[in-house]
Amino acid sequence: MRKKIVAGNWKMNLTLKQAIDLVEELKKNFHSGDKVEVVVAPSFPYLYPLREILKASAIELSAQNMHWETAGAFTGEVSAPMLLSVGIDRVILGHSERRQYFCEDAGLLAKKVKTAMDHEMQVIFCVGEVLEEREAGRHFDTVREQLEASLHALTPADWSRMTIAYEPVWAIGTGKTATPDQAQEMHRFIRQVVSGMAGEQTAEQIRILYGGSVKPSNAADLFSRPDVDGGLVGGASLKPEDFLAIIEAAL
């Protein structure tokens, strides 16, 4: 049985005060860490203060991104050892916003994944097609290429720290969600691709999250599908009542 994950990707939102209020509210109301894994991914400046607040809670923290080098002349960047030094051992990589606005391609993402894995970090790796690719019937090819191009060098130990998030780009922040059938179909496909790359056992164990306009009204339906192991939530993760309702749907 795969334990579900509900992860909140806060993106570039909230002030420190708002971030603290949000996690305080989550901490007060979330006590089911044995049943579902809950992760929040705030911006870099908040990771350390929130780490302190969440120390005695079951809520995990993740970075939204990191650099592939461990140190050096890379103005504005944050490295794996820096994250680890403030108690953060999780990172989201390959988000479509990073691919789209910051030109992160498959080769660069392969380097980031390798660095994260070399530092024994847990990774949520995002894949997903744009609308034109789905309309042209290319969505399966796109997702397979994204997986193979960036995850081909993973060892079995690396795979055990890997989570995949399927986030169709046309569903992100648009209010338009993939139907549970569309999500299930793609998640099943992703599991097959992982099986080809890493073997059947790894494919059965890996958690595959759905992301793209997850909200309280659609979460239970999505999470009830056999290959949907939880969600990567954007907008709705900024509202404690919505995020808690989505967590509830994963229980």
The residues annotated with a catalytic role in the active site are 95, 167
Out of 45, 81, 173, 196, the residue judged to bind ligand 13P by CB under 6 A: 173
Binder among 172, 186, 203, 222 for ligand 13P (CB under 6 A) = 172
CA–CA distance, 223 with 78 (Å, rounded to integer): 33
Asked if residue 79 binds ligand 13P (CB under 6 A), the reply is: no
Between 93 and 198, name the residue whose CB sits nearer to ligand 13P.
Answer: 93
φ, ψ for residue 42 (rounded to 5)? -85, 175
SS (H, E, C) 26-41: HHHHCCCCCCEEEEEE
Whether residue 34 contacts residue 84, with contact meaning beta carbons closer than 8 Å, is answered with no
Among 168, 211, 230, 240, contact with ligand 13P (rule: CB under 6 A):
211
Strand order in the sheet with 230-233: 59-61, 36-41, 4-9, 230-233, 207-211, 162-166, 122-127, 90-93
Alpha-carbon span 14 to 20, nearest angstrom: 9
Residue number with the smallest Cβ distance to ligand 13P: 234
Nearer to ligand 13P, 8 or 189 (CB): 8
Rule CB under 6 A: is residue 150 a binding residue for ligand 13P? Answer: no
Q: Does 93 bind ligand 13P (CB under 6 A)?
A: no
Contact 98, 106 (CB under 8 A): no
CB of 33 to ligand 13P, least distance (A): 22
- Nearer Cβ to ligand 13P, position 69 or 221? 221
Q: Which is nearer to ligand 13P, 156 or 173 (CB)?
A: 173
Q: Contact at 8 Å (CB) between 171 and 182?
A: no
The CA distance from 103 to 96, in Å, is 10
Among 212, 218, 219, 246, binds ligand 13P (CB under 6 A): 212
167 part of the interface to ligand 13P, by CB under 6 A? yes
Q: Which of 228, 236, 230 is nearest to 250 (CA)?
A: 230
Minimum CB separation of residue 54 from ligand 13P in Å reads: 20
- Which residues contact ligand 13P (rule: CB under 6 A)? 9, 95, 167, 172-173, 211-214, 232-236
